[in-house]
């Protein structure tokens, strides 16, 4: 049963509010609604503010967490760096200890060998050479060595050393004078020491044995020496080039006695047409003839080739610099030398199209033609050459008339081309390189000084090439780093690359050389810096040219030599920032260095030469031209520490006196020195 209180509470909760609103005025109800609306708006705005504060607090919390994480990561990195530094220090210590052990072991081995040698020498002195030699065959120690080994050893000696060895004992004299060492005689390396008496004695003693004779540049020899050459009846090869005292009478005397000549070099002599007439009548088996820069030779000397049909076995002819030759002379050669295979006509500015056409008209066997320094040949002439011959070697330089049409015709007709040298031809463009890519046997390509060759042409060459190229010269072109990347990625057999004076190349191009087959690299005059040299790692370079790279410093050379230790030829000429520190690195790391060119390095001192001669035991050729701080002490270092030095160039060395420089002249094959002021405006010496 429901109580009264329960009923009263229910009424008050459900019915009283309705009754109250019934009695409330209408205006008061409207105000109440407005206040309720304002309260709702304020409540909503408060919730939005609260939500914004919550998001802001959340972002602050996230940023704080990231800062804490970053601080923790930085502390971890610091710990790792310290740990790595300690590990590297221990590793360097371990490596240094290992190197010291190896060095000590090598020193111990060397010491033992030295001690053993000293003991042997003491025993020899004690027992005496006679008693030791009596135990060997023939009573001399030389008789215990195989004769083939002896021949190999003695053939390394020049004429002067052989004559000195013949005076050691009777055994040595009999072996040296047996004649086996005198079939090849090279007097050119001893031209400063030779005289007529020595040459006469040697040639008369071995006149029946001498087959090859080289007298290049022997200007001190006169008539008696050349008269004795004519007694060598079996002589087959003779080189008397650069002998300015040679006359027609001397050569005619030789030709009458040496009728079996196969090779004759008369370049840079004063012979005339009389010599040629006698030559063609006596030496019917002649195969190789060089008349380069014989300015007195004219068409008349070759007339007998067409009339008498002599010297028909000639396969090589060099007429470079014979500016008096005209069409008639080339017609005579064409008529008499039908078997001619290779012809060299360099430095002939007067050579015309008619001369070349007359030559190739009667020489169908021509396979090699060299036309360096011939500016007047036209497209029609080149097309006639490729139509009448089958070339495998073609050289041309300094021609501004030949266009892409000619090179396309050359590639269509001469599919077996292996050697193509086209330098300083400004009308050659990228389209020609697309034609060169069709030559599947091409091994050597030179398009240097062709200013219109760029990345597009290189791309044509690379995409269609069969990877047979071994030598590529694109110096003085518009090549960029992208082309170098393509070359190294596609030409896997390339060994020699010349990029000198390609001004658009940077350090990035050297990044692609790692693991390549490049053995010779020329980047002279490029914008290469130390960081670029550091990228040359894992490259088995034998030859490197850095001439004119003015941004290279000692640090770059040191890193380079550490990474590339097999260098044999190096050119750092005109690298003005280099000092003796660079030479120290070269001498220490590149033990097999045989050629060094450091001309125009003004900071080099005598200390640099001392360091170089102490470490580079294989040094053969050295160029120190323009090193103004060098003095006579440099000559002392070279004379005492470089016994194998064969070539020295000391041009514009004001600190080296003439008297000191002359001391080296008798010890080397090539010597050049003067005290003139360096001509910096020329760029090179």
Judging by beta carbons within 10 Å of its beta carbon (0-12, 13-18, 19+), is residue 410 exposed, middle or buried? buried
SS3 state of residue 420: strand
pLDDT of the residue at 522: 95
Distance CA 34, CA 22 (A): 19
666: number of Cβ within 10 Å: 9
Q: Please state the φ and ψ torsions of residue 439, each to the nearest 5 degrees.
A: -85, 100
Mean pLDDT computed over 36-54: 78
Q: Where are the domains of the chain?
A: 119-145, 367-505, 520-684
Mean pLDDT computed over 345-349: 90
pLDDT of the residue at 378: 87
Please identify which residue in the block is written with the tokens 């053995």.
519
pLDDT of the residue at 345: 92
Percent of the chain scored above 70 by pLDDT? 89
Distance CA 611, CA 615 (A): 6
> What would the DSSP string read from start to end of 500-516?
TT-TT--GGGGGGGTT-
Are 280 and 252 in contact by the 8 Å Cβ rule? The answer is no
Mean pLDDT computed over 393-410: 89
Distance CA 164, CA 256 (A): 33
Contacts of 145 (CB under 8 A, 6+ apart): none
Give the pLDDT confidence of 6-24 residue by residue, as tens digits.
655 555 555 545 444 444 4
What six digits make up the tokens of 471?
């030598």
For the chain, the first-to-last Cα distance in angstroms comes to: 133
pLDDT of the residue at 447: 92
In the predicted structure, residue 385 carries a pLDDT above the cut 50:
yes
Distance CA 601, CA 628 (A): 8
pLDDT of the residue at 2: 54
Give the pLDDT confidence of 546-577 residue by residue, as tens digits.
999 999 999 999 999 998 989 999 999 999 99
pLDDT of the residue at 685: 45
The confidence band for 144, taking pLDDT boundaries of 50, 70 and 90, is: low
The confidence band for 127, taking pLDDT boundaries of 50, 70 and 90, is: low
pLDDT of the residue at 125: 59
The upper half-sphere exposure of residue 500, i.e. CA atoms within 13 Å in the direction of its Cβ, equals: 17
Mean pLDDT computed over 105-109: 78
678: number of Cβ within 10 Å: 18
The confidence band for 593, taking pLDDT boundaries of 50, 70 and 90, is: very high
Distance CA 108, CA 137 (A): 36
CATH superfamily of 367-505: Ribonuclease Inhibitor (3.80.10.10)
The confidence band for 463, taking pLDDT boundaries of 50, 70 and 90, is: confident
Please identify which residue in the block is written with the tokens 């091409």.
442
How many separate helices (H) and strands (E) can be counted in the chain? 25, 20
Are 392 and 368 in contact by the 8 Å Cβ rule? The answer is yes
Are 465 and 433 in contact by the 8 Å Cβ rule? The answer is no
Are 635 and 664 in contact by the 8 Å Cβ rule? The answer is yes
pLDDT of the residue at 126: 57
The confidence band for 53, taking pLDDT boundaries of 50, 70 and 90, is: confident
Query: Which of 139-148, 427-436, 636-645, 660-669 is least confident?
Result: 139-148
4 vs 332, which has greater pLDDT? Answer: 332
Q: Please state the φ and ψ torsions of residue 395, each to the nearest 5 degrees.
A: -125, 130
424 vs 100, which has greater pLDDT? Answer: 424
pLDDT of the residue at 16: 47
**Domain 520-684's class?**
alpha beta
In the predicted structure, residue 159 carries a pLDDT above the cut 60:
yes
Distance CA 396, CA 254 (A): 35
- β-pairing verdict for 647-650 and 621-623: parallel
How far is residue 547 from each of residues 301, 402, 571, 578, 677, measured CA to CA in Å? 45, 32, 6, 12, 21
The two domains 367-505 and 520-684 share their CATH topology (first three levels equal): yes
What six digits make up the tokens of 278?
């006698």
pLDDT of the residue at 446: 93
345 vs 154, which has greater pLDDT? Answer: 345
pLDDT of the residue at 39: 75
Please identify which residue in the block is written with the tokens 């190999």.
152
Please provide the average confidence, as pLDDT, over all residues in the chain: 83
Are 505 and 527 in contact by the 8 Å Cβ rule? The answer is yes
pLDDT of the residue at 464: 64
In the predicted structure, residue 430 carries a pLDDT above the cut 90:
no
Give the pLDDT confidence of 511-527 residue by residue, as tens digits.
888 888 899 999 999 99
pLDDT of the residue at 472: 93
Beta bridge pairs of residue 263: 237, 288
112: number of Cβ within 10 Å: 10
Q: How many residues does the chain have?
A: 685
pLDDT of the residue at 129: 46
pLDDT of the residue at 381: 86
Contacts of 341 (CB under 8 A, 6+ apart): 315, 316, 365, 366, 367, 368
pLDDT of the residue at 683: 44
Mean pLDDT computed over 492-516: 89
SS (HEC) of 456-504? HHHHHHHHHCCCCCCEEECCCCCCCHHHHHHHHHHCCCCCEEECCCCCC
599 vs 172, which has greater pLDDT? Answer: 599
Give the pLDDT confidence of 644-665 residue by residue, as tens digits.
888 999 998 888 988 988 888 8
Please identify which residue in the block is written with the tokens 């021609």.
399
pLDDT of the residue at 501: 93
């Amino acid at each position: 049963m429901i109580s009264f209180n329960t009923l009263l509470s229910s009424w008050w909760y459900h019915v009283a509010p309705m009754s109250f609103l019934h009695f409330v005025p209408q205006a008061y109800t409207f105000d109440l609604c407005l206040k309720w609306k304002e309260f709702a708006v304020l409540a909503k705005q408060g919730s939005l503010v609260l939500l914004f504060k919550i998001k802001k607090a959340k972002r602050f919390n996230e940023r704080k967490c990231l800062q804490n994480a970053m601080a923790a990561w930085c502390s971890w990195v610091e710990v790792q760096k310290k740990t790595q530094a300690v590990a590297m220090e221990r590793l360097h210590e371990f490596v240094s200890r290992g190197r010291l052990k190896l060095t000590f072991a090598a020193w111990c081995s060397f010491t033992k060998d030295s001690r053993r040698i000293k003991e042997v020498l003491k025993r020899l002195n004690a027992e005496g050479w006679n008693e030791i030699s009596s135990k060997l065959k023939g009573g001399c120690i030389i008789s215990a060595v195989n004769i083939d080994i002896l021949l190999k050893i003695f053939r390394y000696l020049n004429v002067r050393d052989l004559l000195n060895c013949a005076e050691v004992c009777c055994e040595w004299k009999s072996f040296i004078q047996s004649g086996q060492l005198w079939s090849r005689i090279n007097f050119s390396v001893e031209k400063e020491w030779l005289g007529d008496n020595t040459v006469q004695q040697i040639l008369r003693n071995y006149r029946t044995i001498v087959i090859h004779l080289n007298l290049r540049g022997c200007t001190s020899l006169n008539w008696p020496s050349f008269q004795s050459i004519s007694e060598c009846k079996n002589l087959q090869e003779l080189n008397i080039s650069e002998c300015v005292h040679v006359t027609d009478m001397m050569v005619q005397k030789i030709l009458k006695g040496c009728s079996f000549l196969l090779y004759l070099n008369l370049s840079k002599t004063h012979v005339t047409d009389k010599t040629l007439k006698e030559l063609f009548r006596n030496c019917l088996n002649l195969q190789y003839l060089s008349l380069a820069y014989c300015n007195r030779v004219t068409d008349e000397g070759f007339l007998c080739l067409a009339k008498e049909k002599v010297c028909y076995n000639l396969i090589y002819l060099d007429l470079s610099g014979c500016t008096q030759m005209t069409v008639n002379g080339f017609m005579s050669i064409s008529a008499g030398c039908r078997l001619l295979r290779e012809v060299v006509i360099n430095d002939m500015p007067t050579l015309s199209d008619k001369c070349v056409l007359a030559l190739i008209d009667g020489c169908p066997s021509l396979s090699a033609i060299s036309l360096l320094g011939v500016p007047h040949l036209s497209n029609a002439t080149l097309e006639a050459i490729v139509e009448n011959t089958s070339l495998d070697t073609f050289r041309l330089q300094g021609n501004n008339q030949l266009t892409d049409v000619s090179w396309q015709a050359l590639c269509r007709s001469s599919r077996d081309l292996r050697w193509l040298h086209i330098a300083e031809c400004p009308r050659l463009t990228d389209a020609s390189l697309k034609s060169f890519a069709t030559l599947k046997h091409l091994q050597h390509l030179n398009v240097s000084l062709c200013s219109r060759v760029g990345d597009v042409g290189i791309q044509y060459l690379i995409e269609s090439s069969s990877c047979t190229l071994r030598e590529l010269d694109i110096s003085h072109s518009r090549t960029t780093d992208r082309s170098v990347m393509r070359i190294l990625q596609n030409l896997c057999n390339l060994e020699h690359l010349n990029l000198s004076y390609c001004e658009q190349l940077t350090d990035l191009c050297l990044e692609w050389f790692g693991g390549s087959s490049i053995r010779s690299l020329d980047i002279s005059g490029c914008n290469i810096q130390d960081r670029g040299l550091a990228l040359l790692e894992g490259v088995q370079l034998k030859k490197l040219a850095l001439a004119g790279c003015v941004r290279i410093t000692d640090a770059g050379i040191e890193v380079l030599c550490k990474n590339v230790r097999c260098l044999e030829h190096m050119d750092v000429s005109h690298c003005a920032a280099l000092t003796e520190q660079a030479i120290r690195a070269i001498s220490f790391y590149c033990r097999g260095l045989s050629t060094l060119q450091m001309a125009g390095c003004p900071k080099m001192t005598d200390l640099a030469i001392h360091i170089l001669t102490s470490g580079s035991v294989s040094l053969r050729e050295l160029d120190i031209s323009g090193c103004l701080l060098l003095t006579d002490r440099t000559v002392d270092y070279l004379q005492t520490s470089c016994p194998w030095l064969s070539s020295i160039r000391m041009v514009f060395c004001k600190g080296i006196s003439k008297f000191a420089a002359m001391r080296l002249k008798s010890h080397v094959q090539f010597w050049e020195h003067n005290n003139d002021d360096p001509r910096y405006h020329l760029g090179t010496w």
